Amino acid sequence: MQKVDSIVIKMYNTGSIGDCFLLLFQKQGVTSFTMLIDCGGYKTKKESIVQCVEDIKNHIIDDAIDLVVVTHEHEDHVSGFNQAKELFDTITFKQVWMSWAENETDPIARKLFEEKGKKVKALQNMITKSLEQIKQNAGNHVRQNGLKRSLKMRKQNFENALAALAFEDTMALGSLGVRLKINDAMKYVKGKSKVKLKSKMYKKPGQVIDDVKGAEGIKFFILGPPYDSDLKGIKNDEDESEMYAIAARLGMNISSFYFNALLNTLTGDETIRSPFSNKHKLDAKEEKEFNDSFYNNNKNKWRQIEYDWLDAAGEFAIALTSYVNNTSLAMAITIGDKVLLFPADAQSGNWMSWHDEKVTAALKKNGGRDANDLLGDTVFYKVGHHGSHNGTASVSGLEKMQQEKIVVFMPLVQDKVPTQWGGAENFPAKPLYKELIQKTKGALIRTDVGLINDTKAKNLRKQNYTAAEIKQLEKAAENKLYKEWVVKI
Ligand SMILES: [Zn+2]
């Protein structure tokens, strides 16, 4: 059987921050296999994404996509399946891959759903209540300007937090009166798959798929998300040793204490561990005494922390979003010796887990290469999480990429970065950006600006690439609707 000799990669501009990649596997210039990885944009317009899907439809064979991969359930990766549903209705999905975390019958995935669901609900309730309180209080403090300002700030914080939580599925995405949620998009894609077998649809780290019809000679190495019953890897969204910038906020691990306190307060569920040890607990009588004589004493009113401790809600809402990013299906695709790396929005713990002993052994056994080798041979890298400070691991990722010439695609529309993600000035994270420019010798292409034009990047390109190669890079970035790069055997 003739083998695939080149892969065409198209990164679409969906009008906002988001991922939408079409891969065309070709044999002597003829497409033999098509693959779509995600299709979404954050709060993007229907027209923008429909344009992309129209172009996709023009490049597939017989109105069918051989393989559709949905990496994780976030709006910026799946909104297209709602917004361009009419078009997708006319396209067949021969096979769908998702991570084990989307398999509702998987015990670890269920644990994950449940934890996340509880937390989103608790946070939403609490923030909504706090907002009401603020509105009531605002009236009572008209003359106290300082307090008014701080209430205003707190209100803003809470509203941002609610927006971040809305990102976790309460948001309606459809247009023309059809209200579709992220979850509807997930169900839609799953339902469209011609292959229904769960063992074929949901992928776990260590699996290597090398028997796909039309993609002869290609291997798909599944790297993440980490499949551990303690969810430790998934909860590790920011690992100091792996980041290009220091965290400005608390990670998921620390936030567990907060959630426990919150769930404890809201549900009265005694089985939820208090963040404080038992010896600090007051019984009912002690509590009354303390409140009457001290906490509610007029002299101490200014010390009360009724809502102050809830101010961190915004940070925890973001931590929850990180948690879902970390469920990203991360994979490496090999063509001959060359590797294309697609980590979706994987964050520290996901990247680190690719190197776990068990995963390493499985990758070697099933495909003959481990994450170390794959990173070492990477010639195309889809930047993780739109260029955030924790979306590309350092030690477990970028530092292991050793090829002379690496082309990097960054799915980023900078002026569309949501405020609750930390705003446009943090995307791309500056230290990571610098590192990527160095590593690629300027071969970095972004959705919004194309081939980047920083002086450093330009100089590096001139020093390391031939005029013909620079032309090729410029050509890859010239189209407004998509950026296109070809990896040849
Ligand atoms: Zn994303």
Residue with the bigger pLDDT between 285 and 57: it is 57
pLDDT at 246: 59
> What is the 78 CA–ligand 1 centroid distance (Å)?
9
pLDDT at 69: 98
User: What residues contact 453, with CB distance under 8 A and at least 6 apart?
Assistant: none
- Asked whether the predicted pLDDT for residue 93 surpasses 60, the reply is yes
> What is the 287 CA–ligand 1 centroid distance (Å)?
46
pLDDT at 301: 67
> What is the 392 CA–ligand 1 centroid distance (Å)?
13
pLDDT at 320: 76
- Asked whether the predicted pLDDT for residue 88 surpasses 90, the reply is yes
> What is the 169 CA–ligand 1 centroid distance (Å)?
14
Look-up: residue for tokens 């979404």?
40
> What is the 245 CA–ligand 1 centroid distance (Å)?
19
> What is the 325 CA–ligand 1 centroid distance (Å)?
7
pLDDT in tens, 201-212: 999 999 999 999
Residues 57-64: what's their mean pLDDT?
97
- Asked whether the predicted pLDDT for residue 58 surpasses 60, the reply is yes
pLDDT at 149: 66
Are 356 and 227 within 8 A, CB to CB? no
User: What residues contact 463, with CB distance under 8 A and at least 6 apart?
Assistant: 441
Which residue intervals of 348-415 are DSSP H helices?
Answer: 348-353, 357-367, 371-376
> What is the 110 CA–ligand 1 centroid distance (Å)?
22
Q: What percent of the chain has pLDDT over 90?
A: 63
> What is the 298 CA–ligand 1 centroid distance (Å)?
49
Are 302 and 449 within 8 A, CB to CB? no
- Asked whether the predicted pLDDT for residue 468 surpasses 70, the reply is yes
Phi, psi of 332 (to 5 degrees): -115, 135
Residues 96-118: what's their mean pLDDT?
90
> What is the 227 CA–ligand 1 centroid distance (Å)?
21
> What is the 374 CA–ligand 1 centroid distance (Å)?
23
> What is the 42 CA–ligand 1 centroid distance (Å)?
8
Residue with the bigger pLDDT between 48 and 146: it is 48
Average pLDDT, the chain: 87
> What is the 411 CA–ligand 1 centroid distance (Å)?
9
Phi, psi of 52 (to 5 degrees): -65, -45
Residue with the bigger pLDDT between 174 and 102: it is 102
pLDDT in tens, 283-332: 888 888 888 888 788 777 666 666 565 666 666 777 777 788 999 999 99
CA distance 128 to 333: 45
pLDDT in tens, 349-383: 999 999 999 999 999 999 999 999 999 999 999 99
> What is the 229 CA–ligand 1 centroid distance (Å)?
25
Phi, psi of 337 (to 5 degrees): -85, -10
Residues 398-410: what's their mean pLDDT?
97
- Judged on CB neighbours under 10 Å (0-12, 13-18, 19+), 163 is middle
pLDDT at 484: 98
Lowest mean pLDDT: which of 83-97, 130-144, 338-352, 435-449? 130-144
pLDDT at 257: 58
pLDDT in tens, 138-175: 665 545 556 666 677 777 777 777 777 776 654 554 54
pLDDT in tens, 179-207: 788 889 999 999 999 999 999 999 999 99
User: What residues contact 4, with CB distance under 8 A and at least 6 apart?
Assistant: 25, 26, 27, 32, 33, 215, 216, 217, 218, 335, 489
> What is the 320 CA–ligand 1 centroid distance (Å)?
14
CA distance 376 to 402: 5
pLDDT in tens, 374-392: 999 999 999 999 999 999 9
Which residue intervals of 291-420 are DSSP H helices?
Answer: 313-325, 348-353, 357-367, 371-376
> What is the 40 CA–ligand 1 centroid distance (Å)?
9
What tokens appear for 308 in the block? 């102050």
To the nearest 10 degrees (0 to 180), the angle between helices 75-83 and 182-192 is 70
> What is the 152 CA–ligand 1 centroid distance (Å)?
30
Residue with the bigger pLDDT between 397 and 236: it is 397
pLDDT at 175: 47
**pTM of this prediction?**
0.86
pLDDT at 317: 73
pLDDT at 223: 98
Preceding peptide of 275 cis, ω within 30°: no
- Asked whether the predicted pLDDT for residue 248 surpasses 50, the reply is no
Residue with the bigger pLDDT between 157 and 411: it is 411
CA distance 42 to 14: 9
> What is the 265 CA–ligand 1 centroid distance (Å)?
33
Residues 400-422: what's their mean pLDDT?
93
> What is the 258 CA–ligand 1 centroid distance (Å)?
26
Are 80 and 86 within 8 A, CB to CB? no
Amino acid found at 378: T
